[in-house]
Structures are given as C-alpha cells and as structure tokens.
A and B are shown apart, each in its own frame.
Chain A
Amino acid sequence: IAGITQAPTSQILAAGRRMTLRCTQDMRHNAMYWYRQDLGLGLRLIHYSNTAGTTGKGEVPDGYSVSRANTDDFPLTLASAVPSQTSVYFCASSDSGGRQGMYSNQPQHFGDGTRLSIL
C-alpha cells in the first residue's frame, strides 16, 4: 500500500540520549515535512525539505536536525533529547504539483506518527 511509513511507532527515551525517527515514502513526492503535535497546540512544523539534498527550518527547529539524502527518506534526529521534546511526531509528504519549484496548492500525506516520551 502506497504511503508514508514511520518508525518506531512509539519510544521511551532517557533524557540526553540521541534518537533518530525514521520516515519513508513510496509516492516519489519531492517535498517532505516533520511536525510535532502537542495537546492544545495543533501541529507545528519542525523541518521540511522541498527536494532531495535540500532542507529548511520550520516553526520549532531547535534541538532537531534532518537530512534528505534521497527522495524517499527523511529522518529526524534529536541529538540530545530533553523532556520538552515529549510529543507525537508526524512525517508528511506532498507532490510538486507539476511545476518545478512550485509546491503550493497540494495536499499533504501523513504517516501514523511516532509517540516519543523523554524521561
């Protein structure tokens, strides 16, 4: 089934540890995104990538890093986890809409999330 796969589905992590959340899509979408979802705050963009080899910062990038070595994979790394990073993390992708460099007016497709608890 085409879509986005996130791993792990959940994780409990000690503060100070390094953690990489994995995201893979098989829709050949150029753009990919990482969000965190916290109760009462909706979804907030952490980092995004418009195409393989490029990344950009979202609304809440501090403490997180990403890489985009190829079209399909977009891992999110917490270098040294802190309790405030306890959240549900969602990966998403979107098509380019047929015009190179233009991604507006396209729906985003989401994975089922990674529930991360930092103790």
Chain B
Amino acid sequence: SQQGEEDPQALSIQEGENATMNCSYKTSINNLQWYRQNSGRGLVHLILIRSNEREKHSGRLRVTLDTSKKSSSLLITASRAADTASYFCAGGGGATNKLIFGTGTLLAVQP
C-alpha cells in the first residue's frame, strides 16, 4: 500500500489546549492536504500546502511540510469541543488530483 500514516491514532485533550497531529507519507507529492471528518459524514477539506511551501496558516490551523522527511504536521490552536472529529492527511501528486490518504487521527476535545 502507498498510504501514509498518522500519529497519534487517537488524541484526547481539554478545550483550550492545542492539538498536534503528524503525518508521514511514502511517495513524492505536489501537495499535502488535510481533511476533517465528523462522525457519519463525508470529509471536509481544511487546508492545502504545496510541496514548495514549508508552513501555512488558516485561522486556528497551522500546517508544516518537510519534504525531505516526507512528513507534515497539523496544529489546531485553542481547541474547541466542535473540533472533535477524525483528521486525515492526503498526498497529491502528478498531473491528476489523485490523493493517497493516511489512516487518520481521532481527536476528542473534552469540554
């Protein structure tokens, strides 16, 4: 399988704390995307970082990308109970937009 891996598999924190999730991938990529999935729903795109970028911010989200280590991290600052969800990284490459997804991190934010 060419899937990436995410670490940790599960994370439980208190509201207001920061949450950090890590992703490692195996193949060369053009971009690395992060998605959120609430229970019983489809995936929602959060942020995309291109292979020539090292860091990107969007609201309370901060993503880093290290192509030499084939790894990325997602930081959610000042977490809220509504951030409780599964988070997936996905690597995109080539002329098509096929994505290879990681196995996900289940984040639980306790109120």
**A101 and B98 contact, CB distance less than 8 A:** no
**B95 and A112 contact, CB distance less than 8 A:** no
**B96 and A48 contact, CB distance less than 8 A:** yes
Q: Which of B94, B98, B100 has the most CB of A within 10 A?
A: B98
A40 CB → nearest B CB, Å: 6
B111 at interface by CB-CB < 8 Å = no
Instruction: Identify which of residues 68-113 in chain A touch chain B, using a CB-to-CB cut-off of 8 Å.
Output: 90, 92, 94, 101-113
B31 at interface by CB-CB < 8 Å = yes
**A104 and B92 contact, CB distance less than 8 A:** yes
User: Could you tell me the distance between the alpha carbons of A92 and B3 in the complex, rounded to whole angstroms?
Assistant: 18
Residue of B nearest to A109 (CB): B45
**A110 and B97 contact, CB distance less than 8 A:** no
B35 CB → nearest A CB, Å: 8
A interface residues, how many (CB within 8 angstroms)? 31
User: Which listed segment binds A: B11-19, B62-70, B71-79, B101-109?
Assistant: B101-109
B50 at interface by CB-CB < 8 Å = yes
A61 at interface by CB-CB < 8 Å = no
Residue contacts A-B, CB under 8 angstroms, 15 given:
A40-B103, A43-B101, A48-B98, A90-B42, A92-B43, A101-B95, A103-B97, A104-B30, A104-B31, A105-B48, A106-B97, A108-B97, A110-B35, A112-B40, A113-B42
Question: Which A residues are within 8 Å of any B CB, using their own CB?
Answer: 4, 31, 33, 35, 40-45, 48, 50, 56, 58-59, 90, 92, 94, 101-113
